Structures are given as C-alpha cells and as structure tokens.
Amino acid sequence: MLRLEEVLYSQGFGTRRICRGLIQQGLVVVGDAIDPSLDPDEFVDPHSLRFRVDGQQWMWQERAYLMMNKPAGYECSQRASSHPSIYTLLPGPLRQRGGGAAAGVQAVGRLDQDTTGLLLLSDDGAFIHRLTSPKHHVPKVYEVVLRHPLTANTCARLEAGVVLDDDPRPVKAAKADATGDCSLRLVLTQGKYHQVKRMIAAVGNRVEQLHRSAIGAVVLPDDLSPGQWRWLSADEVQLLRQPPR
C-alpha cells in the first residue's frame, strides 16, 4: 500500500509538495469516482490503480517500458544540441519519474538524428543493460536504403565481416538480405557508433535512409506513427527479457 501522494510522486508528477497540491486542488480522481475530494495521506493499493490527473488518464506502473516510433530530425539525448530531443515527445511525468539526477525514462540505445523507427525507453536499469550489452547479442533489424545499387557480393561481405576504422577486428552482420536493387535488411547484434553507416561505407556504398524495424522479437507496429509512443505490453517486455533464439 502507498499513500496517494507517494503514488503521484513515484509516477513523476512533481515533488511531494506539488503532488499533495494536485490532490488538494481536486485535480486527481481515482478510478470512476465522481467526487474528487481525496486525502493525500490516504493509503491505496497501487497495483492496477487507474487515476486521472487534470483530466488525463494514467495507470500506476512500478517500472516504465515504452516504445516510440522515432521520427527523423530528433536526437536521442536529454540535452540535444542542434535538433529537438525525443524526450520532448513524451509527457512530463515520464520525463520526471523517480526524481533525482537520473530521473525519467532513458532511451535503450540511441538512433542518429536522421534515423527513424523503433526506439525503446525505460527507467529499469537492468532491462536497459540487458538490451544494450553486446554480450547478450540482442538482434536489431534495420531497413537500409542505399545510394548505389547492391553489388553481387555486398550482403556476403557484410555477413563475413568488414573492418571499421577504429577496430582491427571485423564487424559482422548476423544477417544481410537484399530487399531491392538499392535496399537491404540488416540484422546486427552489436551497437557500435554509426555502425550501419560505417559498415555500408566499408563495402563501397552509402546510406540514404535508415529505419529500425525490430528489436529482438518486438516489431514496430504499422499503426504507431512517427513521433507516437505507447506502453509495451507485459508480453513484449517478457519477450525482450528472453535470450535470443
């Protein structure tokens, strides 16, 4: 059981004082109640608790697990330099969950500002580590549009391994399949800086468009438009926690 004030605080609605004020002003409604008069110190069971804050519906989540369809022109940084941050596409409470220096959800790995597609976000450090650590070999699927047509051995070279300028050891694609004259689908289990672009450059071509379509067994749904986000389902979170097959 948690005090109602603590529920709001844990979900990122501000300091405890601000959360208490939201309740006292009648801006918080629990469940289907009509009377908004609530006691900030009232104990509630947070599990499956639904509540509205200033008219917006929320559900208590011990940890946040989200997916976003990242649009082009956004940086995956809290302190974006030359482009807007993907965090501006999220509601304030998701950016403030937990409080402290590391408040809010964090991107699970990054996509370049011109790269689009599936981006996961969470405030669960172990979950983030599980998906980003190279030793877990979580596959990421990229749809790549190239400037020049594929050669007969482009995919074979990417799967055999290419040498990048900062690492003498070859970097391999887990799978590379042509999807058109100037496009391919690339599956990677590593996450080096600008890896796709540098691998394509190493085989004498150039990336014109880059889109991530899947992470592990979770695929970006067609009905999630660029810039939109949603909560991951319990099944999706479980799939992402399982070792790759």
Query: Residue by residue, what is the 3-state secondary structure of 95-149?
Result: HHCCCCCCCCCEECCCCCCCCEEEEEEECCHHHHHHHHCHHHCCCEEEEEEECCC
Catalytic, out of 39, 45, 54, 112: 112
With a CB cutoff of 8 Å and minimum separation 6, the contacts of 156 are 176
Same fold flag, 2-59 and 65-134+218-241: no
* 177 belongs to the catalytic site: no
| CATH topology assigned to domain 139-215 | Alpha-Beta Plaits (3.30.70)
- Among 67, 192, 70, 213, which residue's Cα sits nearest to residue 132? 192
pLDDT of residue 100: 59
Structure tokens at 109: 């790995």
Residue ranges for the chain with pLDDT beneath 50:
none
Q: What's the CA angle centered on 180, arms 174 and 181, to 5 degrees?
A: 110
pLDDT at 80: 73
Q: The pTM is what?
A: 0.90
CA 46 to chain centre: 25
2-59 CATH:
3.10.290.10
Q: Which residues, at least 6 apart from 35, have a Cβ–Cβ distance to it below 8 Å?
A: none
Instruction: Retrieve residue 102's tokens.
Output: 């590391």
What kind of architecture, by CATH, is found in domain 65-134+218-241? 2-Layer Sandwich (3.30)
| Confidence (pLDDT) at 154 | 96
What is the domain partition of the chain in residue ranges?
Answer: 2-59, 65-134+218-241, 139-215
What was the pLDDT predicted at 135? 85
User: For position 79, what pLDDT does the model report?
Assistant: 81
Question: What local confidence, expressed as pLDDT, does residue 96 receive?
Answer: 87
* pLDDT for residue 136: 87
